[in-house]
Amino acid sequence: MGLQLFDLSGRRALITGSSQGIGFALAQGLAAAGARVVLNGRDADRLAAAAAQIPGAQMLAFDATDHDGVRAAVDGFEASHGAIDILVNNAGMQHRAPLEEFPAEAFERLLQTNIASVFHVGQAVARHMIARGRGRIINIASVQTALARPSIAPYTATKGAVGNLTKGMATDWARHGLNCNAIAPGYFETPLNAALMADPAFTDWLEKRTPAGRWGRVEELQGACIFLASDAASFVNGHILYVDGGITASL
């Protein structure tokens, strides 16, 4: 079989939060492997600009935190365009503040964006996948699934929940032919990390703390996503794949 195991030709992939950053890079990688990609976001203009950069890309605008809206969008797309074979739950946000001063409303937004969206979109898509007896769900976790840093305790809680929800998805849905796994990125050059990247002291700390000695590049996440979406990962289920330059392996 060789490289044919990684061929995604004929499959359609929905990537949430894919108008920029990690989501957009993953969409590009899946498209390069042969998948037809469907980009999702809430900003229609930004979404259209992203789709214009990937030949054949489709758009499906919805708010991943709106359970009923997600269900309607997914059901409508499946009815009019066909199966979603691969789902990448990438939508996410960050908010930094000391835990004792963390705003309650920011905590709630993190819960809705980072973990409730994985449930909402995952369930809506999985119902169709279960009926077909096959599907791939890839949730985007984080090094904060396993580790913590000051000022981001609620974010860490949400990403820990993403890891355990991934295991729960696999436990419930593997019997129906679904493969549910997660990718846990380390520190990557993304808009979400712009403030950290602009801080020389943080970059110095990160380069010393990470065995690879540098920030990650978003395209370095594409291989992991293609693998988990492909037949090469047919017996991989409930796994959290850390792509972090070794940061979780080292003290």
Which residues participate in catalysis according to the annotation? 155
Beta strands in the chain (DSSP E): 12-15, 36-39, 58-59, 86-89, 135-140, 178-185, 240-243
CA torsion, ordered 183, 218, 88, 110, to nearest 10 deg: 80
Q: Which residue has the tokens 């979109």?
A: 121
Residue 37, SS3?
Answer: strand
Residues found in the chain:
251
Around Cβ 168, how many Cβ atoms within 10 Å? Answer: 15
What angle is formed at CA 187 by the lines to CA 200 and CA 46, rounded to 5 degrees?
100
Sign of the Cα torsion 205, 189, 180, 168 reads positive
Maximum Cα interatomic distance, the chain, rounded to a whole number of Å: 55
Round to whole Å and give the CA distance between 194 and 188.
Answer: 10
* Cβ–Cβ under 8 Å, residues 188 and 218: yes
Burial label for 180, CB within 10 Å (0-12, 13-18, 19+), is: buried
Residue 185, SS3?
Answer: strand
Amino acid at 172: D
